[in-house]
């Protein structure tokens, strides 16, 4: 019998979840698609199995548990702090390993001590792997989207560029392309010379009138979902972004930050030295980072087993701070991964702000590793 279908395995895992102070929860396999399409990120969006209800509502097979668990928490109006554990099937289009597979994990909602909750989440993920893969040694890689956001903001880029870079965090090729683009301004291709001239002159009133006349002439105005002023604002934003660039010193600072890759034992000093050398005001981000490192030590997590990579992210749009993955030492297969997602519950409709962090276990990969040692 496969490991993930073994009642004894599930019972053992849920016994550990109970020891860790969680409540078992299940969610429907058929989920509303909108939250995943809005928040999950391009990598997951393109792999979702979509369908439609008789009333036209867009639905999907459950591609992960974090969003469904958060929706259930909101619907049941349960107070916080709350820790949920789950185990069940998820469905994604995959090149290998099948489109249906099992995940288990914990979602930790409402703890206002972010550092403590982050450390507990990583410690719990390690404990689960240690229980299921006895005798194995594990390596943890962490990143921090909040620190990256702080660095990007401190470099003084326009808000639009900051958002672009943050969305690309963890996607090496895309991020490198954006950094290369920031080395030189580029005009908006194909822009009407009259429009360019009015943008250059700051003639908003004249440009709005010109756009309205052109929309009426082409018949676009009656069918347009955007007004001339909406288009004007978008043109100005695109022009600002196209003209934005970083000087050599700031580009070098950004590249230097993204190259940082050290044991967590040394990461606080390395990050502080980087901020000082680059002249960037990162005190708040560094304070939160240092508090988490201290919490890891207090939780009994070996700092020597954790690597901090400044460029490390995970391909889900909802992360806001800590992100991490755990592998068997010397193996590339991710066995567990997760992170902090503090904005999600508000976006899903929660009346109050609820900080959150969690992780998932990839049970098919755990089974593969376990099978190799039998």
Same-domain status, 129 and 34? yes
Q: Is residue 233 part of a domain?
A: yes
Same-domain status, 7 and 84? yes
Check: CB of residue 323 under 8 Å from CB of residue 170: yes
Q: In the predicted model, is pLDDT for residue 215 greater than 60?
A: yes
Q: Is residue 29 part of a domain?
A: yes
Same-domain status, 127 and 217? no
Q: Which of 60-64, 132-136, 272-276, 308-312 has the lowest mean pLDDT?
A: 132-136
Domain endpoint, select from 243, 268, 284: 243
Band (pLDDT 50/70/90 cuts) for residue 15 is very high
Same-domain status, 101 and 224? no
Q: Is residue 30 part of a domain?
A: yes
What confidence score (pLDDT) does residue 239 get? 60
The neighbour count for residue 341, using CB atoms within 10 Å, is: 27
Band (pLDDT 50/70/90 cuts) for residue 1 is very low
The neighbour count for residue 217, using CB atoms within 10 Å, is: 9
Same-domain status, 43 and 117? yes
Same-domain status, 125 and 203? no
Domain endpoint, select from 243, 258, 277: 243
Please tell me the pTM assigned to this model: 0.83
Q: Is residue 10 part of a domain?
A: yes
What confidence score (pLDDT) does residue 186 get? 63
For 5, the token pair is: 């279908």
Same-domain status, 7 and 98? yes
* Domain that includes residue 131, residue range: 3-138+318-372
Q: Is residue 176 part of a domain?
A: no
Band (pLDDT 50/70/90 cuts) for residue 366 is very high
Q: What percent of the chain has pLDDT over 70?
A: 90
Q: Is residue 156 part of a domain?
A: no
What confidence score (pLDDT) does residue 213 get? 78
Same-domain status, 201 and 128? no
| Arithmetic mean of pLDDT, 66-86 | 94
Name 79's Cβ contacts closer than 8 Å, sequence gap at least 6.
110
For 263, the token pair is: 């044991």
Q: What is the CATH number for 85? A: 3.30.930.10
Q: In the predicted model, is pLDDT for residue 162 greater than 90?
A: no
Q: Is residue 22 part of a domain?
A: yes
What confidence score (pLDDT) does residue 11 get? 87
Q: Dump the DSSP string for 193-260.
A: HHHHHHHHHT-HHHHHHHHHHHHHHHT-GGG-SS-HHHHHHHHHHHHHHHH----HHHHHHHHHHHH-
Q: What percent of the chain has pLDDT over 90?
A: 60
Residues in the chain: 374
Same-domain status, 25 and 122? yes
For 37, the token pair is: 């399409």
Domain endpoint, select from 243, 270, 303: 243
Q: What is the tally of structural domains in the chain?
A: 2
225 vs 266, residue with greater confidence:
266
Same-domain status, 107 and 201? no
Q: Which of 220-234, 245-259, 283-297 has the lowest mean pLDDT?
A: 220-234
Q: Is residue 159 part of a domain?
A: no
Same-domain status, 114 and 18? yes
Q: In the predicted model, is pLDDT for residue 242 greater than 70?
A: no
């Amino acid at each position: 019998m496969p490991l993930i279908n073994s009642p004894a395995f599930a019972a053992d895992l849920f016994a550990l979840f109970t020891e860790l102070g969680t409540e078992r929860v299940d969610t429907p396999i058929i989920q509303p698609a909108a939250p995943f399409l809005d928040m999950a990120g391009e990598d997951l969006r393109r792999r979702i199995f979509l369908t439609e209800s008789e009333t036209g509502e867009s639905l999907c097979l459950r591609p992960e548990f974090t969003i469904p668990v958060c929706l259930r928490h909101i619907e049941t109006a349960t107070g916080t702090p709350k820790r949920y554990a789950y185990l069940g099937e998820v469905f994604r289009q995959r090149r290998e390993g099948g489109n249906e597979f099992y995940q288990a994990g914990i979602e930790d909602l409402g703890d206002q001590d972010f550092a403590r909750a982050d450390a507990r989440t990583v410690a719990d993920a390690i404990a689960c792997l240690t229980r299921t893969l006895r005798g194995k040694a594990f390596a943890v890689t962490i990143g921090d989207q909040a620190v990256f956001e702080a660095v990007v903001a401190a470099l003084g880029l326009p808000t639009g560029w900051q958002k672009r870079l943050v969305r690309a965090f963890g996607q090496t090729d895309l991020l490198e392309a954006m950094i290369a683009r920031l080395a030189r301004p580029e005009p908006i291709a194909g822009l009407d010379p009259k429009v360019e001239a009015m943008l250059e002159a700051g003639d908003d009133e004249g440009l709005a009138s010109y756009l309205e006349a052109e929309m009426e002439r082409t018949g676009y105005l009656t069918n347009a979902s955007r007004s001339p002023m909406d288009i004007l604002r978008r043109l100005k934003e695109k022009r600002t972004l196209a003209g934005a660039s970083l000087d050599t010193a700031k580009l070098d600072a950004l590249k230097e930050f993204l190259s940082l890759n050290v044991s967590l034992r040394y990461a606080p000093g390395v990050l502080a030295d980087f901020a000082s050398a680059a002249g960037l005001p990162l005190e708040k981000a560094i304070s939160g980072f240092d508090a988490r490192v201290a919490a890891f030590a207090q939780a009994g997590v070996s700092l020597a087993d954790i690597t901090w990579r400044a460029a490390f992210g995970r391909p889900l749009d909802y992360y806001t701070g800590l992100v991490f993955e755990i592998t068997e030492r010397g193996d590339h297969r991710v066995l567990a991964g997760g992170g902090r997602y503090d904005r999600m519950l508000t976006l899903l409709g929660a009346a109050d702000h609820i900080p959150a962090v969690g992780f998932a276990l990839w049970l098919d990969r755990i089974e593969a590793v376990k099978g190799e040692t039998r």
